[in-house]
Chains A and B, each alone.
Chain A
Amino acid sequence: MKAIQILDQLKFPVELKDKIKFKLDNGFFLEVKNNVDIKTPLHYLFDLNKDSNHKNIIKIGNNSKLIFIDENISEDKELDYTCELEVILGENSELYYLNLNNFSDKVKSVFLSKCVIEKDSKLKCFSGHLGSGILSSKREIILNGEGSDGKNIEIVFGNKEQIFNISSNLIHKVPNTKGNVLVKNVLKDNSKMDFNGLIRIEKGAQKSDSLLQDHSILLSKNARANAIPSLEIEANDVRCTHSASSGQVDEDQIFYLMSRGLDINEAEKFIVMGFLQPILEDLNVKEVKEKIIKIIENKWNN
């Protein structure tokens, strides 16, 4: 199932025209009305060519479903980009939002996103932080209705002089909510990253179930990773865990692969791809997965 490219309302397939509103004006505004189930992913390709400051809004009504791919590319020159994203998810709806950042290394970018999920709705966010020289991303998911489920998955693949600053907050406001934050980082060369994660379970948000994970692989002497996976819990009947780790590729595994005929570079790549594999498998959108693998391969070889 190939995604539908969207640039503006006019080019939409006829059958979607009454169901979706899409407008571009310093960012995009996307609205999916009530009771709309769009099976085909929508793909929005944004090409940055001048300093920009955008505000994006995604609004999903009740009982609706959408898969949205937000791909960012840029010209190869020094540019600044800030983007504020607001996601409002009605009751009993589902949104799968995929963001693929593939800006040039000369771009400095800042992403701020805030997502509010209502009763019985499901949100899954994915971010692939691959491009930008300096990238700062802060995402906040607020579980505002009972039975809501928020998932935030991010991968960072840094090389050369790239610097990443990733924040992810998940806030359980009401009882019976589910949350999951998973961040996996691979850092090569002189790349550096900071991760700041927080799960907050507010007073009265009983039966919350939440998980926060941050795992890094450092591939060079000069790569650095800092992590603060925090928890603030004000309710007692909850399940809330976090874990974090940092390490290099396992020498035994490398040895094993090399004894099977791979050279060291290939063996390392094999293990790194294996580290990211569970996330990539879970993407369910083939073209995004393929794109990410291609970009990582490119970055690996340079």
Chain B
Amino acid sequence: MEEILQINKGYEEKYGFKDDVESTIKTQKGLNEDVIKEISKYKKEPSWMIEFRLKAYGIFKSKPMPQWGANLNEINFDEIIYYASPSDKKSNSWEDVPEYVKKTFDKLGIPEAERKFLGGVGAQYDSEVIYHNLRKDLEEQGVIFTDMDTAVQKYPDLVKKYFGKIIPMGDNKFAALNSAAWSGGSFIYVPPNIDVKVPLQAYFRINTKNFGQFERTLIIADKGSKVHYIEGCTAPIYSSDSLHAAVVEIVALEGSNVRYTTIQNWSPNVYNLVTKRAFAYKNATVEWVDGNLGSKITMKYPSVFMMEEGAKANILSVAFAGKGQHQDAGAKAIHLAPNTTSTITSKSICKDGGRTSYRGLLQVAKGSTKVKANVTCDALILDEISRSDTYPTMKIHEQDSSITHEANVGKVGEDQLFYLMCRGLSKAEAMSMIILGFIEQFTKELPMDYAIELNRLIQLEMEGSVG
């Protein structure tokens, strides 16, 4: 605790540094058909992918900017660089990674994490995944963990079957943008009955100014398999805004178990507009663990469609909004089959004028009998100028279901603070301890190293809030 409280470095020093290196390959600002063709040509993509991209671009242009949530009107699509690559080759050993990129990831502690507790690592720098490695034993079992671009070339059948099927390109404006300009992201396939005991991880880093990162992740868990995937994100602090619009698709086939953990810590100049969706088939379980700490505006609602009987969804989301931040996060559980179960737990903390919103959907389709669903959302508001909203939607079209929703909004209990301060803690320490207790459920779910990192980040954000 003492050590954590000593951290005074802040984001700028820890994650906010930038590499002053020009990208090897970079498209002009703005997006048009030529830029898309250029990206596709550089990637030597098959013709179906070019058609896919161009069709998505048409949808992106035709869709209006969504007005129902956070304010996105300041995004200027013409000022954004849609593709930048630090290197023209991918590697699976650190030695081949360009020096400055290596330094970046070293600073972020990625190789160390890989050695300690990960089964595989992917590292994306701007548009391209520059490093990818999977433990040999997992590779021998038939597990595929690679970047999306390679997967399009190497596993066209699997990719064609699921790519853009979970989240169609026309789902929303930013899914369309991603479908048109996507680059990088992870592709994971776990063969039947394989239990990947150690987590796989991808780290996303934006370095270029005014950049748009559009990674595309597809996870396929075959029958009876089990996998845990972790993503982490950071970026340098610039005065102008960057955009991160990812699409994450998960297919959890019969009896499989997929957990997807996000530690989103973008710099406060990044718009984070991500579409995440999973299809859970018979008796499959999908768990989203979603931590939103950074970014200027986040709009992200991880969803699980329970397609067949016995599917389960567990969504755990924690959001932290500091000065100038709006975390519009939430979850969606859509029950399309009988005997399906979902739990949504959301916890948010706002301070210094930050705003957290929980926006969720719980839908029970007709015929989905014996559904059990529970939503709990708690919010802490640490000062007078911050704001917290809750917008939970429930659409219940089946009589034979049991749905509950509860929420609490409060401030840190004076009594609890007083109690801890009586025992010799400073006000700041006491406050941190209460907050950590409040989000314990979330950190418990994470592998050790990352729990510490998340705790530290929360400590970091807490700094200066009291005393």
* Contact A236/B411 with A228-B394, A246-B401 known, Cβ cut-off 8 Å: yes
Q: Which of B389-426 touch A at CB < 8 Å?
A: 389-411
What is the distance, in angstroms, from B355's C-beta to the closest C-beta of chain A? Answer: 9
Q: Which of A93-101, A121-129, A219-227 contacts B (4 or more CB under 8 A)?
A: A219-227
**Are A233 and B401 in contact, with the CB atoms below 8 A?**
no
Range of interface residues on chain A?
A: 20 to 34
Range of interface residues on chain B?
A: 20 to 34
CB neighbours (8 Å) of A229 from chain B are 390, 392, 405
* Residue in chain A with minimal CB distance to B403: A246
Is B463 engaged at the interface, CB distance under 8 Å to the other chain? no
* Contact A241/B396 with A228-B391, A231-B389, A235-B384 known, Cβ cut-off 8 Å: no
What is the distance, in angstroms, from A197's C-beta to the closest C-beta of chain B? Answer: 10
**Are B395 and A240 in contact, with the CB atoms below 8 A?**
no
Is A261 engaged at the interface, CB distance under 8 Å to the other chain? no
CB neighbours (8 Å) of A246 from chain B are 394, 396, 401-403
**Are B409 and A233 in contact, with the CB atoms below 8 A?**
yes
- Bound-state CA distance A236–B404 (Å) is 26
Is B379 engaged at the interface, CB distance under 8 Å to the other chain? yes
B396: which of A206, A218, A232, A239 is its contact (CB, 8 Å)?
A218
Is B387 engaged at the interface, CB distance under 8 Å to the other chain? yes
**Are A231 and B407 in contact, with the CB atoms below 8 A?**
yes
What is the distance, in angstroms, from A204's C-beta to the closest C-beta of chain B? Answer: 7
* Contact A244/B393 with A236-B383, A236-B386 known, Cβ cut-off 8 Å: no
A-B contact count (CB 8 A): 105
- Bound-state CA distance A248–B400 (Å) is 6
**Are B409 and A245 in contact, with the CB atoms below 8 A?**
no
CB neighbours (8 Å) of A216 from chain B are 396
* Residue in chain B with minimal CB distance to A227: B394
Is B388 engaged at the interface, CB distance under 8 Å to the other chain? yes
**Are A231 and B390 in contact, with the CB atoms below 8 A?**
yes
The winner among B390, B397, B401, B406 for most chain A CB atoms within 10 A is B390
**Are B394 and A244 in contact, with the CB atoms below 8 A?**
yes
Is A51 engaged at the interface, CB distance under 8 Å to the other chain? no
- Bound-state CA distance A25–B388 (Å) is 44
**Are B397 and A224 in contact, with the CB atoms below 8 A?**
yes
Is A203 engaged at the interface, CB distance under 8 Å to the other chain? yes
**Are B384 and A203 in contact, with the CB atoms below 8 A?**
yes
**Are A233 and B388 in contact, with the CB atoms below 8 A?**
yes
Is B382 engaged at the interface, CB distance under 8 Å to the other chain? yes
Give 10 A-B contacts (CB < 8 Å), ordered by A residue: A204-B384, A226-B393, A234-B386, A235-B384, A238-B410, A243-B405, A245-B403, A245-B405, A247-B401, A247-B402
A-B residue pairs, 3 tightest by C-beta: A218-B399, A236-B381, A231-B390
Other A-B pairs beyond A220-B399, A224-B396, A238-B411, 8, CB < 8 Å: A223-B399, A224-B397, A226-B396, A229-B390, A238-B409, A242-B407, A245-B402, A247-B401
Query: B residues engaging A (CB < 8 A)?
Result: 366, 379, 381-411
